[in-house]
Amino acid sequence: MTVPRSTLRLQFHKGFTFDDALAHVEYFAALGVSHLYASPVTTAEPGSMHGYDTVDYSRISAECGGEAGLKRLVEKLHERGMGLIIDVVPNHMGVGGSSNAWWLDILEWGRHSAYARHFDIDWHSPDPALRGKVLMPCLGASYGDELAAGRIELRFAAQTGHFYAAYGPHVGPVCPIDYAAILQSAERADLSALAERFQGLTTQPADQPRAAEGRELLREFVAQNGRSAVDAALANYAPGESVTRDRLHRLLERQHFRLAWWRTASDEVNWRRFFDISTLAGIRVERPEVFDAVHALPFRLYTEGLIDGVRIDHVDGLAEPREYCQRLRQRLNELRDGEPYIVVEKILARGEPLREDWPVHGTTGYDFMNDVGALLHDPAGAEPLAATWAELTGRSARFADEALAARRKILAENLSAELDRAARALHRIARDSITTRDFTFTALHRVLTELVVHFPVYRIYPQNGVRTEADNVYFNQALAGAKQALSPADYAVLDQVDAWLGSGTAEDAALVRQGSAANAQAGANGQPFNHAGSSRRTAQTLFSQLTAPVAAKAVEDTACYRYGRLLSRNEVGSDPGEFALSVEQFHATNLERARRFPHAMLATATHDHKRGEDVRARLAVLSEIAHDWSATLRAWSTLNAPQRRALDGSLAALDHDWAPGPAAEAMLYQTLVGCWPPELAPDDDAGVKALAERVAQWQLKALREAKLRTSWLAPDETYEKACRDFLFDILAPQRRDGFLHALSALVARIGQAGAINSLQQTVLRLTSPGVPDLYQGTELWDFTLVDPDNRRPVDFAQRAAWLVETPPSDLLSEWRNGRVKLAVVQRLLALRAHLPALLSEGTYLPLTVKGKHAAQVVAFARRHANAWAVIIVTHLAAGLLDEGGDVPLVNAAQWEDTAVEMPAELTSRALFDWMSTAAPKVEDDGSLFLRDALATMPVAVLVEDGVPRA
């Protein structure tokens, strides 16, 4: 079995190892998943809690249990008929400490390192101080201050014979050509003799083995004679005295790295980062030797049958995603019979297709998460909630305005070095032609900025240097936006940049193809690309590797923390400007997926989500009571006004400069409503305090990500403390009869409708076309917030104890503890195992609903051969629930004449509900009345077969 029936995502780290997962395999099997879906298993930075900072692609993480631990886990999975999918990170590596051998070799040998072309480094920086060097932006303050403070030191590693510059956990290996000078500085005959081994060394590869031999002799000398002699040499580079400090400085200046304040990275970094993270360096997996090194381990694991497929992280960071996916598929196909399962982490805009020439099974499910999330919202709430947001905060009612401003800020402050590099690539092309040689760098930079700012999707995917029609749909939007923003004096430059970035003719495409060989040869020699075709390809790649991180940082990590019409739409992969999705549109997206990528992943929670799936489901109810919620926001703002803080920490600030400020305050109220635990009482002081601590962690991250009054680059700790004080004040025990009572009452009012939304999206994920993915722990209610809150330890033992054979309807009355959700997941995964072809390959048939409350129902059928499943879920239920009711269920009588029009083939068949004990009857005219189908559960999954009994 290779294509999963269903997956369960686990986050491995030193606190949750392969053996920890092995201990719960019986639970995973009883739950009904076919595959575990693991976070990266390769060796990451020590202590990594996520694994995406890989430092060694060749070894399985020892902290997670090593290869032996992984094999034990897989052996147990195979005993239970299950498999494993692993996360592969081909775009970047961790370079933030001293564990990455490839990176350390580059720091030591510069462009002559064996790994110099493994990373995406600009060795030809226009800054003379960086030419042939790598920027190391790791210092906590300016270089001069840190040097003078003695925090940068020259040290010696006795076990390896290396000299290195040390700054905290950061290591900069000294090039061996400087070892002779270091050793001779001690003026000792024994060290001078060792120094001769390093005399005349160059950085050329042929000299590097000689340096290794010299280091070995040095290591042996210290092992036999102790460190005193070497320490005498190190003393001549001690930072404590001006003379020796100056000698240390001059030594550092000769190295292939340049130590710098971390703030310089955004402006000066000369290597591609993952987004704006200066501890993650982009690698060039498009190079065959890098591809082979990155994938040797997963290829071996696949060959040995230990894994059944891979999830590719951040595919848009790669130079050539199409070629990468094709090469990956080809290699996996060659290694083992059967079909390898391949999905890519890809953010798609509404209407943007995943390219069919990528031989993958689909995405990791952000698109489905967006679809089902939007479905839960009432479109009638969009305008009043936007108006309330604008009125209360003074900010724009349109998300697009926030996104545009955020893109400009990210380009100017976080990714300016990457923008400069792309502009220089265009400038080199301009200088190569007499017709464009007068296009200045500044003009090209200006034009490129506007194109990136207005780019509506992550990136383009040119073929042979020419954009496809699919690319042009989005590139033309960026062109139009740029043209509107630019002066007419720049239009000629804009038109030329358009051509260079792929709007050209077949002749241009041939030029790029001809340049590919020259490009490869130049790269192999470490030379700049001069050929016109290869220069264009390089510019296109740099453009695409710029638009993708700008989109991620500006939209997901900035604008989504600034715009608060309704936070349930501010999610990874979603456009908060798109408020709701109709039932018809949801059916259309399912039909499209069934046609193009029937085995794509379906997710409603991930390790990267901003809010737990049940937080979003509850907040979506506010769209159904938009006017009441707007009034509540105003009332709470008035109620809590006395707790507002001036920036000096005093209470009752009356001017505009108070903390947290209207926008942050409004978002805070939504967050509290969304994540308030269902069983928490306002007089539970300990429980409320624990919630406040979690929300405070979210609040700090949200404020800094918004980058308005504080940020990661320039934190305003006074403002942040005032915001935290406000939060703890409004949740203090003395507020239990005031704000806490009002908050818990509002949660109680919408809680039942929120639970119906949660069960609705759970059923849709488990029955729609695709492979349903379950994020660890979300079998029960998921009221977590952004990481690290959503990566807290999971009590799998409790979940295992709560597995039952009884139908979910038996647990609905105790819905607050989440067992009903677990039962729904368990029952539908059992159905997928019982009739695997029905839900994995079955035709998707939207069903018509008629009657008074037809708009409150989503219904469709799945059919495979003679097998059928009919899925019916309650939709937008807030207005149908009994006031004061305590069960998330619409009273059967409320449905009145509402009915699903069933397929003719089912009118004579007996149907059984896998969610309850019901067996609703289809009328002779094909009508299935909701008063029968949804009498005991807000969701129904009707199948001709009854539930198998153990």
3-state class (DSSP) for residue 503: helix
Instruction: State mean pLDDT over 284-305.
Output: 98
pLDDT in tens, 143-180: 999 999 999 999 999 999 999 999 999 999 999 999 99
User: Which pLDDT value is given to residue 344?
Assistant: 98
Cα 399-403-406 angle, rounded to 5 deg: 140
- Residues sharing a CB contact under 8 Å with residue 250, sequence separation 6 or more, in sequence order: none
CA within 13 Å, CB half, 460: 30
Instruction: State mean pLDDT over 30-56.
Output: 97
Q: Where are the alpha helices (DSSP H) in 81-161?
A: 101-109, 143-148
User: Which pLDDT value is given to residue 421?
Assistant: 97
Q: 241-246: list long-range contacts, CB under 8 Å, 24+ apart.
A: 245/147, 245/148
User: Which pLDDT value is given to residue 526?
Assistant: 46
**How far is 589 from 607, CA to CA, in rounded Å?**
24
pLDDT over 90, % of the chain: 93
Instruction: State mean pLDDT over 469-484.
Output: 97
**How far is 623 from 876, CA to CA, in rounded Å?**
9
**How far is 274 from 314, CA to CA, in rounded Å?**
9
User: Which pLDDT value is given to residue 883?
Assistant: 87
User: Which pLDDT value is given to residue 511?
Assistant: 58
How sure is the predictor about 950, in pLDDT bands with cuts at 50, 70 and 90?
very low
pLDDT in tens, 82-136: 999 999 999 999 999 999 999 999 999 999 999 999 999 999 999 999 999 999 9
User: Which pLDDT value is given to residue 682?
Assistant: 96
CA 692 to chain centre: 26
CA within 13 Å, CB half, 278: 26
pLDDT in tens, 802-837: 999 999 999 999 999 999 999 999 999 999 999 999
3-state class (DSSP) for residue 737: coil
Q: 184-189: list long-range contacts, CB under 8 Å, 24+ apart.
A: 185/233, 185/236, 185/237, 185/247, 186/229, 186/230, 186/232, 186/233, 186/236, 188/229, 188/232
**Cis bond before residue 660 (omega within 30° of 0):** yes
Q: Quick check: 283 and 118 in contact, CB under 8 A?
A: yes
Q: Is the pLDDT of residue 508 over 70?
A: no
Instruction: State mean pLDDT over 866-877.
Output: 97
How sure is the predictor about 650, in pLDDT bands with cuts at 50, 70 and 90?
low
User: Which pLDDT value is given to residue 626?
Assistant: 98
Instruction: State mean pLDDT over 10-32.
Output: 98
Strand stretches in 48-104, DSSP E: 54-60, 83-88, 92-94
**Cis bond before residue 788 (omega within 30° of 0):** yes
Q: Which two tokens stand for residue 166?
A: 């040390």
Specify the residue for token string 């264009």.
536
Which comes out higher in pLDDT, residue 532 or 444? 444
Strands 7-10 and 771-775: parallel
pLDDT in tens, 117-127: 999 999 999 99
Q: Where are the alpha helices (DSSP H) in 597-661?
A: 613-620, 626-639
Selection from 385, 266, 307, 321 nearest residue 632 by Cα? 385
Instruction: State mean pLDDT over 274-303.
Output: 98
DSSP assignment string, 755-775: HHHHHHHHHHHHHSSSEEEEE
Selection from 5, 52, 1, 3 nearest residue 766 by Cα? 5
User: Which pLDDT value is given to residue 523?
Assistant: 45
Instruction: State mean pLDDT over 777-801.
Output: 96
Mean pLDDT (the chain) is: 95
3-state class (DSSP) for residue 704: helix
Distances (CA, A) of 908 to 67, 488, 872, 915: 55, 70, 19, 21
Beta bridge partners of 342: 310
User: Which pLDDT value is given to residue 531?
Assistant: 58
DSSP assignment string, 169-188: TEEEEPPGGGHHHHHHTT--
User: Which pLDDT value is given to residue 509?
Assistant: 54
User: Which pLDDT value is given to residue 2?
Assistant: 78
User: Which pLDDT value is given to residue 79?
Assistant: 98
Q: Is the pLDDT of residue 852 over 90?
A: yes
Strands 35-38 and 277-282: unpaired
CB atoms within 10 A of CB 166: 15
User: Which pLDDT value is given to residue 649?
Assistant: 60
User: Which pLDDT value is given to residue 527?
Assistant: 47
Q: Is the pLDDT of residue 518 over 70?
A: no
Picking from 695-699, 811-815, 917-921, 944-948, which range would have the lowest pLDDT averaged per residue? Answer: 944-948
Q: Is the pLDDT of residue 481 over 90?
A: yes
| Torsion angles phi and psi, residue 300, rounded to 5 | -65, -45
pLDDT in tens, 719-746: 999 999 999 999 999 988 999 999 999 9
Q: Is the pLDDT of residue 916 over 50?
A: yes
pLDDT in tens, 339-394: 999 999 999 999 999 999 999 999 999 999 999 999 999 999 999 999 999 999 99
How many residues in total does the chain contain? Answer: 950
Tell me the longest C-alpha to C-alpha distance in the chain: 105
User: Which pLDDT value is given to residue 144?
Assistant: 97
Distances (CA, A) of 901 to 582, 764, 768, 922, 925: 19, 19, 19, 9, 8
Q: Which domains does the chain have, with CATH numbers?
A: 7-91+285-364 (3.20.20.80), 101-278 (3.30.1590.10), 396-402+416-561 (no CATH), 795-943 (no CATH)
